[in-house]
Amino acid sequence: MLLQDVPPPPAATAPAAPLPPQLQRLAPVAQKPKALTLAKGGRTENVVVRYQIFLRTIAKPGAVPATPEGVTLSAIPCAWVVESYLQRDLCFYSISGFLGCEEGATKPLQAIENGQADLPSGTACEVFAKPVTAAEDRVIATLDRIKDQMFDEDYQLAIKPRLLKTGVTITER
């Protein structure tokens, strides 16, 4: 059997298609682990409550009106919503060091912003458009002021009472 040099395939000459606009994005904005040691009957167990706040941003292009031939649009309609969520995972470490986590809990927060704007022609209505990222920045600024309080309140109201019901003593590390 003879091996022959095979010429490489011809390069693609068609231009690459533009990427479609990104209409939804999930982005973490704050995280905080809370390390605990649980003790009961002379035995101890390490636990971590992992908190995260994240944003879900959705951009919705509006309907572009029909334009006569030769007429160009000067603005593209765009609407968006920026929603925030608190996510909590309760994770236990075994004596062998393995980690097991309960199914996470996610709850919506009150920091939300809706908006709409006419974007300049040639600008895509997507999550990276300037008015959309400006809305995200405003929501993040709000969350930065209250995130530690939210993490602490969730621990005091949702986690600590549940663990104490089992008869353990909790030590925060």
pLDDT at 108: 97
Is the model's pTM score more than 0.85?
Answer: no
Domain assignments of the chain as residue spans, ordered by start: 24-62+75-172
Q: How confident is the model over 148-161, as a mean pLDDT?
A: 96
Residue 159 in this model has a pLDDT that exceeds 90: yes
Which two three-digit tokens encode residue 2?
A: 């003879």
Q: Residue 70: count other Cβ atoms within 10 Å of its Cβ.
A: 5
Quickly state the pLDDT bin for 74 (edges 50, 70, 90). low
Residue 3 in this model has a pLDDT that exceeds 80: no
Higher pLDDT, 85 or 69: 85
What does the pLDDT look like over 116-137, one tens digit per residue?
999 988 888 999 999 999 999 9
pLDDT at 66: 60
- In sequence order, what E strands does the chain have? 24-40, 43-61, 75-93, 99-101, 105-108, 113-120, 169-172
